[in-house]
């Protein structure tokens, strides 16, 4: 059970690259949301959040829900050029679940 405000990163996710278990691809961003403000863009593939490996979109929600709005999380991702990057994202208050 989740009580209180829900943490929100502001991404819409799809499966990773053509090979399975390789992360969660950002397919959309909430304009002005935390992930967009941190510089993530559609096409980036999230491979870890807060040091926990991400093999697909379903891995991210439990990690984010373990945090509160205002918490900072480190997101590791692969950009369009194939380079691994990290971004610090301050979670916002999300829409009601």
Question: pTM for the whole thing?
Answer: 0.88
- The residue-averaged pLDDT of 27-31 equals 93
What pLDDT score does 6 carry? 84
DSSP structure string for 26-89: EEEE-TTSHHHHTT--TT-EEEEETTEE-SSGGGHHHHHHTS-TT-EEEEEEE-TTS-EEEEEE
What pLDDT score does 60 carry? 93
pLDDT in tens, 36-70: 999 999 999 999 999 999 988 999 999 998 999 99
Domains of the chain, start order: 7-93 (2.30.42.10)
């Amino acid at each position: 059970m989740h009580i209180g405000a829900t943490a929100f990163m502001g991404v819409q996710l799809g499966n990773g690259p053509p090979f399975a278990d390789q992360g969660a691809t950002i397919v959309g961003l909430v304009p002005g949301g935390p992930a967009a403000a941190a510089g993530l863009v559609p096409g980036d593939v999230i491979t870890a959040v807060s040091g926990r490996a991400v093999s697909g979109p379903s891995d991210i929600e439990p990690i984010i829900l373990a945090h509160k709005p205002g918490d900072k999380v480190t997101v590791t991702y692969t950009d369009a050029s194939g380079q691994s990057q990290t971004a610090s994202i301050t979670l916002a208050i999300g829409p009601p679940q």
